[in-house]
Amino acid sequence: MRRALLLTLVALLAGGLALLGSGTALAHNVLISSDPKDGQSLEAGPAEITLVFDQPVQGGDKFNTITVKGPEDSRWEDGGEPVIRNNSVVFKVRPLGPAAEYQVGYRILSADGHPVSGNLKFTTTKAGPGTPNAATETAESSARSSEEDGGVPIWVWIVGAVVLLGGGVFFALRGGSGGPGESARR
């Protein structure tokens, strides 16, 4: 009887976890197409990059961002806010420069409120007249400094304090019965 109850509980727990897992997977926006397509070869650089998802994209200041990286980490995104039309989001791109492979990295706000990120790439076959944007030199350093500013979440400090406190109590207790060094040597 007890065993049956335990098995039922385990089954319920497993079912709940499975539901939780599939629920979050279903809720996230999934990229279903893009223009340019991933891996596409173009003669001239695209004026904009369109990403189409299976669900609406949420708007908001800096919620939806993109980076377009060319040779030697040059940056070509326009930097302005994208235009959102239901399930699609359109980012403007500067006129491109050298004929090369360009890496697109995006981060959009899912319909369920979670950020979704991904990347794609395209290649241009003819050089354009454009010049990279100002983020080209500072992008790496600014990304690094923002990580340093808010990089360590508060729970890390709390866990650290608890571990230190626990360690202190442990050694205080051991110290009372002869100390860790002495007992180890005997």
Q: How far is the CB of 113 from Cu ion (least distance, A)?
A: 7
Q: How far is the CB of 51 from Cu ion (least distance, A)?
A: 17
The residue type at 33? S
Q: How far is the CB of 137 from Cu ion (least distance, A)?
A: 35
Task: Pick between residue 28 and residue 92 the one whose CB is nearest to Cu ion.
Answer: 28
Distance from C-alpha of 108 to C-alpha of 113, rounded to nearest angstrom? 10
Using CB under 5 A as the binding rule, whether residue 20 contacts Cu ion is answered as: no
Strands (E), the chain: 31-35, 40-42, 48-53, 65-69, 83-85, 88-92, 101-109, 115-124
Using CB under 5 A as the binding rule, whether residue 28 contacts Cu ion is answered as: yes
Binding string, residues 89-128; x marks residues near Cu ion by CB under 5 A: -----------------------x-x--------------
Give the interface segment with Cu ion, choosing from 27-35, 74-82, 89-97, 171-179 (CB under 5 A).
Answer: 27-35
Task: Pick between residue 27 and residue 152 the one whose CB is nearest to Cu ion.
Answer: 27
Task: Pick between residue 57 and residue 68 the one whose CB is nearest to Cu ion.
Answer: 57
Size of the site for Cu ion (CB under 5 A): 4
Phi, psi for residue 85 in degrees, rounded to 5:
-125, 100
**Alpha-carbon torsion, ordered 68, 74, 78, 79, to 10 deg:** 90
Query: Judged by CB under 5 A, which of 20, 27, 143, 159 binds Cu ion?
Result: 27
Q: What is the 3-state secondary structure (H, E, C) of 29-77?
A: CCEEEEECCCCEEECCCCCEEEEEECCCCCCCCCCCEEEEECHHHCECE
The residue type at 171? F
Residue ranges in contact with Cu ion by CB under 5 A: 27-28, 112, 114
